[in-house]
Amino acid sequence: MDKTITISPYSMASYYVDVFFNDIKLSNATCFFTKRKDTLYLVTNWHVVSGRNADSKICLDKMGSVPNKLRVYVPREGENSTVSYDDDFYMDIDLLDQEGNKLWYEMQKDDRMVDVVVVPLHEVKGAYITIEDAEEPYNEQVYFEIASEIYIIGFPFGKQTGYIPIWKKASVASEPELDVEDLPYFFADTATKSGMSGSPVILYKDRPVVLMSESEKKFSRHWTKLVGIYSGRIGADSETKGDAQLGRVWKPHIIQELIDSHES
């Protein structure tokens, strides 16, 4: 008999992604879902869906291939509110229409790409949850600052650990209220790997007492908050800059700005 376990909702809200050109796998990454009004969106990095470096626009694949499909592994719903993961259960999400037009929303500031995209989803399957579903109640006034401990939830080892993500601890390394290079991100002090691109970054801190929301019928044992979208380390692939183990965390307000700019 399979064993039933209970895991964090945030672990259920971060998803492993294989990135394809046709049937050729190019890379792997991480994504999450958000729901605004009645539409579900996938959130990940611009460099994941475009196959290009967000700063230089240089193609990331040595053969020059760029993605046209994401394969997102979502859990299958079972009996008695249980879920399970399966290598053969996933959603294929097209990145281009038949004319080659982009199906994601992107944003550029001057000559630099904001390394976050949202992809509107019209057909979904599986027992997915959104990043908002994972948040505990009573978190309206959660505050974080320089040196706060945060977590990057993604897949640094690909599928080596299955479809449940790794929680990589980091700390806020630049003032989060300030932009860097006039772009809406801050730095996190951490060492990560490429498979974590597109990971949700959250504040997750124990409360001194447990609270319960009568309306939601949910307990709150932690202060929780989505604080950004992770996109990789500065200088990790550079021979001249060196690796300072500083990663970019893009601010979450970008998600709504992307939706508003393309749907208003």
SS3 (DSSP) at 145: coil
SS3 (DSSP) at 25: strand
Distance, in Å, from the CA atom of 116 to the CA atom of 228, rounded to the nearest integer, reads: 10
Residue 237 has pLDDT above 90, yes or no: no
Mean pLDDT of the chain: 90
Please report the domains of the chain, with CATH numbers, ordered by start residue. 9-263 (2.40.10.10)
Residue 15 has pLDDT above 90, yes or no: yes
How many other C-beta atoms are found inside a 10 Å radius of the C-beta of residue 179? 14
Rounded (5°) CA angle 238-28-101: 95
φ, ψ of residue 258 to 5 degrees: the values are -65, -45
Tens of pLDDT, residue by residue over 172-184, are: 999 999 999 999 9
Determine contact, residues 207/166, Cβ cutoff 8 Å: no
pLDDT for 82 equals: 83
Tens of pLDDT, residue by residue over 148-172, are: 999 999 999 888 788 999 999 999 9
Distance, in Å, from the CA atom of 83 to the CA atom of 63, rounded to the nearest integer, reads: 38
Task: Find how far residue 115's CA is from the centre of its chain.
Answer: 11
